[in-house]
Every structure is written in structure tokens, then in C-alpha cells.
A and B are shown apart, each in its own frame.
Chain A
């Protein structure tokens, strides 16, 4: 079983829709959580990061973490065609080393 599970999609939505991307994890040692956006296998771009359970908002993006359920989400409001990319969740433990364990990524297409 993978430590981090993420539905690979593909996910296709119309412009303006609210997008929900999700990951589940099995390792309770994970302490911090990130979302990256990757365009056409370019370098992953850090979108959001959080250390605690709850919600964190940044513009059109909201990251949600539920440590009790081992479940994290990224919501994109008012989605735009430029949001079309692969979204990767990533997690790490709070010790030296700080390697990230990634989900497979969800491929998102926002149609104009």
C-alpha cells in the first residue's frame, strides 16, 4: 500500500467551477502538507503548505487538512484555463531529512 494515495484523474471541469483535489495518507507521522502544481512535467511549483489541521486560504486556493482522518484537500475557486496542470500533494515528517512523499498527481483540465 502506498503511503500517499491520490486519484490520478484526469479531471475535466468548465471554467469557473470549484475544483476539489484530495489525498489520503496512511503514515500518522506526517506533520506537514503541501500542494504543488506541475505544468507538462516542468518543475513542481509550490502552491500551499500547512503544518496543522484546519483550513488555509490563499487567493482562489484553500488547503484543508484533517489529521484525524488522514485526509487533505485543495480547493480551487473560480477555476481558470491557466489552472490546467497536474496537482501533486506532498507530505513530510518534522525531523531532519524532511524528505517529501508525493501522491501520484491529479491531472486537471479547465475548459473555457
Chain B
């Protein structure tokens, strides 16, 4: 158990809908990262938050947004969902911008029908 929690474990929804994925980092970690893992793409970095502030963006679609709250949990919002958004979504946490070891949560499996 990495200490990173994610909810829900599974999410099944329809095209055009909006969903919210939630992540709680390890106790004391200030950084949260979101990654997407699809069957044909491997793990792709989406976005990084540190202590409530956005620090870096990767290949994140404009339909996707994220935030980190004062209690350090983070949410990833996916809207206008398309079939191609079906994937595993992982969050990872680390101690801070200079701390490079990232610990991953169990992931949320999103299926868009």
C-alpha cells in the first residue's frame, strides 16, 4: 500500500458526460501528479500540483481540468467525454518539487460507452 488513495475504483459513463476523479496523497506529501494509462499509449503525464498551485502541464486536453485543495487532496475533472478517454487514471504523490520519488495510487478505471 503506497498510502495514496483514489476514488472511485471504477467508473462507467456515457459519451458527453462529466466525471470527477479524486486523489488523496500520502500523509505529508505536497505534490500530486495525474497520469493517464491507455492500452496503446502507456503512462502519460497530465498535470502536477504542488501545495495548491499548478506547477506543470503535460498532454492534458482542454476538456480536462484539475485542482488541489487546501487539505492537499486533488480532483481531476473530465468533461464532454469521448470513447477515447477510456483509460486508467493514476495519481501519484511526492514530498515536494525537489523530491523526485513518486508513489502511485491504485488508479481509477474509466470506461466511456
Q: Out of B4, B58, B97, which one reaches A96, CB within 8 Å?
A: B97
Q: How many angstroms between the C-alpha atoms of A104 and B33 in the bound complex?
A: 19
- In the bound complex, residues from chain A placing their C-beta under 8 Å from that of B99 are 98
Beyond A49-B100, A99-B58, whether A44 also contacts B48 by CB under 8 A is no
* Interface size of B as a range: 20 to 34
B45 contact set on A, CB distance < 8 A: 99-101
Pick from A46, A94, A101: contact of B103, CB under 8 Å: A46
Separation of A98 and B103 alpha carbons in the complex (Å):
13
* Interface of A (DSSP majority class): loop
- Asked if residues A96 and B55 are in contact (CB atoms below 8 Å), the reply is yes
User: Is there an interface contact between B43 and A102, defined as CB atoms closer than 8 Å?
Assistant: yes
Q: Is the interface of B mostly helix, strand, loop or mixed?
A: strand
Stretch at the interface among A34-42, A54-62, A64-72: A34-42
Q: How far is the CA of A70 from the CA of B33 in the complex (A)?
A: 25
- Smallest Cβ-Cβ distance to A34: which chain B residue: B101
Complex contact A43–B104 (CB within 8 A):
yes
Is there contact, CB below 8 Å, between A99 and B33?
yes
* Complex: chain B residue closest to A102, CB-CB: B43
Residue of B nearest to A49 (CB): B101
- Cβ–Cβ < 8 Å partners of B48 in chain A: 97-99
A21 in the interface, Cβ–Cβ < 8 Å? no
B24 close to chain A: CB less than 8 A: no
Name the A residues within 8 Å of B109 (CB-CB): 41
A54, chain B: closest CB distance, angstroms: 17
- The answer to whether B43 touches A46, judged by C-beta atoms less than 8 angstroms apart, is no
Q: Which of A62-112 contact B (CB under 8 A)?
A: 88, 90, 92, 94, 96-105
Instruction: State the A residues within 8 Å of B (CB).
Output: 32, 34, 36, 41-46, 49, 51, 88, 90, 92, 94, 96-105
Q: Which residues of B contact A (CB under 8 A)?
A: 2, 4, 31, 33, 35, 37, 42-45, 48, 50, 55-56, 58, 88, 90, 92, 94, 97-107, 109
A-B contact pairs, 8 of them (CB 8 A): A32-B100, A43-B107, A44-B104, A46-B101, A49-B100, A98-B94, A98-B99, A102-B43
